[in-house]
């Protein structure tokens, strides 16, 4: 998984899988969209106005990772 945050537009994208060339995007709200790849597998989530929805400080965004097993 990879999380990308763009401060200039206050948008975050959460990559759950390697994004295929073609996706189907479904808007859940004005600010949240889910990208589906082949077989309707969720490959990513786009969050606009991310600082509000994710509680981020746009100048110093911090993500806490919990209970991850690293090999």
Residue 14 lies inside a defined structural domain of this protein: yes
Determine the structural domain holding residue 21 and report its residue range. 2-54
How many domains does one find in the chain? 1
Residue 60 lies inside a defined structural domain of this protein: no
Q: Model's pTM, two decimal places? A: 0.81
Residue 64 lies inside a defined structural domain of this protein: no
The backbone torsions φ and ψ at residue 44, rounded to the nearest 5 degrees and listed phi first, read -170, 160
Residue 39 lies inside a defined structural domain of this protein: yes
Per-position b or e across 31-67, b if 16+ CB within 10 A of its CB: eebbbebeeeeebbbbbeebbeeeebeeeebeeeeee
- pLDDT tens for residues 7-56? 999 999 999 988 778 999 999 999 999 999 999 999 999 999 999 998 88
Residue 40 lies inside a defined structural domain of this protein: yes
**Beta pairing partners, 27:** 33
């Amino acid at each position: 998984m990879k999380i990308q945050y763009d401060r200039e537009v206050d948008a975050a994208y959460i990559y759950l899988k390697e994004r295929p060339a073609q996706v189907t995007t479904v808007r859940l709200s004005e600010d949240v969209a889910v990208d589906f790849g082949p077989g309707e597998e969720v490959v990513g989530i786009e969050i606009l106005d991310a600082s509000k929805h994710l509680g981020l400080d746009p100048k110093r965004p911090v993500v806490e990772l919990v209970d991850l097993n690293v090999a």
